[in-house]
Amino acid sequence: MCWLCDAKSSLSASAGVHDEPGAGRWSPRRGFLLAGAAAATGLVSATAQAQVDVGEASALRNLVPAEELEGAARQQYGEMLEQARAKGALAPEQHPQLQRLRQIARRLIPFTAPWNSRSRSWQWEVNLIGNSQVNAFCMPGGKICFYTGILDKLKLGDDEVAMVMGHEMAHALREHARERLAKTQATSLGLSLGARLLGLGELGNVAADLGTQLLALKYSRDDETEADLVGLELGARGAYNPQASVSLWRKMMAANGRGGPGFLSTHPSGPNRIQELQDNLPRVRQLYEQARG
């Protein structure tokens, strides 16, 4: 579903497979919702104008009803967690890495609404699965999941984790999956934007039927760049050092050189991506300093 893994087409089958040492000792537990996280932490949504420039979200996404796609995402996310729980790969409530992820999410979520007003009603959820893949994602509707592989193999600090999480949240906020599905289905069904109203109902049904494909979607280069920049700003507003986006990508490039994730072949190259982030650091640096207080 994103730049962190080039094998998403097999994710549903492997989500419950834990190959990290000790992952099988994780006991069953309940899901965790971050609904109302902003109120719980006493934070409010950002009101200042966005500092990064990513333009308007694509109108093509309107071909797929957001409610139906988010419903499909909730169902798939729940099934994935159940598979992981059954195999002892779902981190328990007290797991320190899971608590760390949830704390970072609490600091980012209050700043999501300006990017997508629908996110105010999302039931944000964060979970950790024991799996050696270098991967993390956020499904439509705010369903976040990290694999232990990305935390352990890259030895990410909190600022770097926030940059990963912000990037993945940005995909959901900018509704890239909705846009990808709309383009795919509009093409296959021979629909055009001019016939949008005529085909809307059929596309909505297709979106629900394709819920199982959400994690297999491949985002475009523009989608990835947009998620990088929105994630950069989310992290800065949450008081996480935006400079960590550069160190994160250097780690990702090094991992790729060691036979790690192969996403660089289909996504923006590491150096170009780092340069884009560096060019935007001045835009968000003051947000970071202000957030630090």
Query: 121-174: per-residue pLDDT in tens?
Result: 999 999 999 999 888 999 999 999 999 999 999 999 999 999 999 999 999 999
Which pLDDT score, from 0 to 100, does residue 1 have? 55
Which pLDDT score, from 0 to 100, does residue 221 have? 84
Is residue 21 pLDDT above 60, yes or no? no
Q: How far is it, in rounded angstroms, from Cα 231 to Cα 249?
A: 13
The pLDDT > 70 percentage for the chain reads: 68
Which amino acid, residue 194?
Answer: G
Which pLDDT score, from 0 to 100, does residue 241 have? 98
Which pLDDT score, from 0 to 100, does residue 256 have? 74
Band of residue 293 on the pLDDT scale cut at 50, 70, 90: confident
Which pLDDT score, from 0 to 100, does residue 258 have? 53
Q: Phi and psi for 69 in degrees, rounded to 5?
A: -70, -40
Q: Which of 229-243, 245-259, 270-284 has the lowest mean pLDDT?
A: 245-259
Residues 172-211 pLDDT 10s: 999 998 888 877 765 555 444 444 444 444 444 544 455 4
Q: How far is it, in rounded angstroms, from Cα 293 to Cα 283?
A: 18
Which pLDDT score, from 0 to 100, does residue 218 have? 75
Which pLDDT score, from 0 to 100, does residue 213 have? 61
Q: Which of 8-22, 157-171, 232-246 has the lowest mean pLDDT?
A: 8-22
Which pLDDT score, from 0 to 100, does residue 9 have? 33
Which pLDDT score, from 0 to 100, does residue 254 have? 84
pTM above 0.85, yes or no: no
Q: Phi and psi for 14 in degrees, rounded to 5?
A: -100, -5
Which amino acid, residue 80?
Answer: M
Using DSSP's 3-state secondary structure scheme, residue 127 falls into strand
Average pLDDT over residues 74-78: 92
Which pLDDT score, from 0 to 100, does residue 271 have? 81
Q: Residue 156 burial by CB count (10 A; 0-12/13-18/19+): exposed, middle or buried?
A: buried
The residue count for the chain: 293
Which pLDDT score, from 0 to 100, does residue 220 have? 81
Is residue 263 pLDDT above 60, yes or no? no
Average pLDDT, the chain: 78
Domains of the chain, residue spans = 60-194+215-292
Whether 28 and 16 have beta carbons less than 8 Å apart is answered as no
Distance in angstroms between the alpha carbons of the first and the last residue of the chain:
35
Catalytic positions, written as ranges: 168
Q: Residue 278 burial by CB count (10 A; 0-12/13-18/19+): exposed, middle or buried?
A: middle
Q: How far is it, in rounded angstroms, from Cα 29 to Cα 40?
A: 22
Is residue 27 pLDDT above 70, yes or no? no
Contacts of 161 (CB under 8 A, 6+ apart): 100, 101, 104, 151
Whether 127 and 85 have beta carbons less than 8 Å apart is answered as no
